[in-house]
């Protein structure tokens, strides 16, 4: 729905159903990320003042509430500018199957894989310029790294896409539509894609800062490599919906965090 009154034509209850589903999946993905964090940031949870199971439960609840709310807002704004969650909306609210010929999921997978290959290729140029790590990260073995990477891929594919694409990117396009009082043109979507992609890269700086000192090359590497993926996922969201963006992101992470460790070329 992309007309000016579109957000008023879709009942809140329909979007609330989707937000609850995505919120639950985001909560599960937040829990799935924890083994990867334990591997890449050893000692990060040593200072916890609450039992670890309680910490896990709090992380899950926080993801459910925060990302569920952001998803609801993103869905409401998205009706105004033609962005949203078409696959889940069709399944849950209309009881219709997705038109996979239009969504082209195999193309989304291919785009995610290509983005990952570009990221790995560029990292081989930038990584020799990085400073020494702040700490030595124990090597748990390729199999364990790959498994933890698989779990972490669900967080990237679900939670990060809900936050950066469904909410942030939609918000930027929606704000333009409201201020300009007309339908956004392609350059507006591209601008939102670029901004969300850069924010996606910036969002990875805290994790990078626990591995290296945040020098100029570390900041540049972190933002650029992640922004490459963000551009691809943003385009998929714009043209195919959040599900295809998630599929592209998940596919890229499988290459980066599952296949790469198995091939002994881990990429942080």
CA distance 122 to 127: 9
- The whole-model pTM stands at 0.92
Region 110-117: what's the mean pLDDT?
98
Burial 62-86 (b: 16+ CB within 10 A, else e): ebbebbbebbbbbbbbbbbbbbbbb
Region 100-109: mean pLDDT is: 96
Is the pLDDT reported for residue 1 higher than 50? no
Q: How far apart are CA 223 and CA 205, in angstroms?
A: 8
Average per-residue pLDDT in the chain? Answer: 91
Please check the confidence at residue 141 and state whether its pLDDT lies above 60.
Answer: yes
Tokens of 76: 């409401």
Q: Within a 10 A sphere around the Cβ of 124, how many other Cβ atoms?
A: 10
pLDDT on residue 5:
45
pLDDT band (50, 70, 90) for residue 4? very low
**pLDDT per residue over 177-186, tens digit each?**
999 999 999 9
CA 78, CA 50: separation in Å to the nearest integer? 39
The model's confidence at residue 40, banded by pLDDT at 50, 70 and 90, is confident
Query: Rounded mean pLDDT of 95-101?
Result: 86
Q: C-alpha angle 92/106/29, rounded to 5°?
A: 55
CA distances from 206 to 11, 128, 155, 172, 201 (A): 39, 21, 16, 24, 10
Q: What is the pLDDT of residue 95?
A: 79
**Looking at residues 217-239, what average pLDDT do you find?**
97
Q: Can you read off the two tokens belonging to residue 48?
A: 């916890």
Give dist(CA 94, CA 161) in Å, integer. Answer: 23
**CA–CA gap between residue 229 and residue 112 (Å, rounded):** 7
- Residues ≥6 apart with Cβ < 8 Å to 18: 71, 75, 85, 88, 89, 92, 93
88: pLDDT strictly greater than 50: yes
**The predicted structure's pLDDT at residue 45:** 75
Distance of alpha carbon 68 from the chain centroid: 14
CB 200 within 8 A of CB 164: yes
Residue 168 has pLDDT above 80, yes or no: yes
For the cut 60, the answer to whether the pLDDT of residue 99 exceeds it is yes
pLDDT tens by residue, 243-264:
999 999 999 999 999 999 888 6
Confidence bin at 195 (pLDDT 50/70/90):
very high
Structure-token match 């009881």, residue found:
95
Q: How far is CA 141 from the centre of its chain?
A: 26
pLDDT at 97: 81
pLDDT band at 266 (very low <50, low <70, confident <90, very high): very low
CA gap 160, 249 in Å, rounded = 9
Residue with the bigger pLDDT between 119 and 6: it is 119
């Amino acid at each position: 729905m992309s007309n000016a009154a579109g957000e008023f034509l879709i009942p809140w209850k329909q979007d609330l159903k989707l937000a609850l589903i995505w919120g639950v999946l985001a909560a599960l993905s937040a829990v799935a990320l924890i083994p990867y964090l334990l591997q890449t940031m050893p000692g990060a949870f040593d200072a916890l003042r609450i039992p670890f199971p309680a910490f896990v439960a709090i992380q899950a609840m926080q993801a459910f509430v925060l990302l569920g709310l952001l998803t609801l807002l993103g869905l409401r704004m998205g009706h105004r500018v033609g962005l949203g969650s078409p696959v889940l909306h069709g399944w849950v609210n209309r009881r219709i199957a997705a038109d996979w010929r239009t969504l082209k999921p195999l193309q989304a997978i291919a785009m995610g894989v290509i983005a990952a290959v570009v990221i790995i290729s560029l990292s081989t140029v930038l990584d020799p310029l990085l400073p020494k790590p702040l700490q030595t990260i124990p090597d748990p073995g390729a199999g364990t790294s790959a498994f933890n990477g698989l779990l972490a891929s669900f967080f990237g594919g679900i939670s990060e896409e809900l936050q950066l694409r469904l909410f942030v990117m939609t918000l930027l396009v929606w704000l333009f539509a409201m201020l300009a009082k007309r339908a956004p043109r392609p350059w507006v979507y591209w601008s939102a894609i670029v901004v969300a992609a850069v924010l996606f890269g910036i969002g990875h700086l805290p994790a990078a800062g626990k591995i290296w000192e945040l020098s100029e090359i570390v900041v540049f590497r972190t933002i650029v490599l992640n922004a490459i993926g963000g551009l691809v996922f943003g385009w998929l969201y714009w043209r195919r919906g959040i599900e295809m963006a998630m599929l592209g992101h998940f596919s890229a992470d499988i290459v980066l965090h599952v296949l790469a460790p198995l091939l002994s070329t881990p990429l942080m």
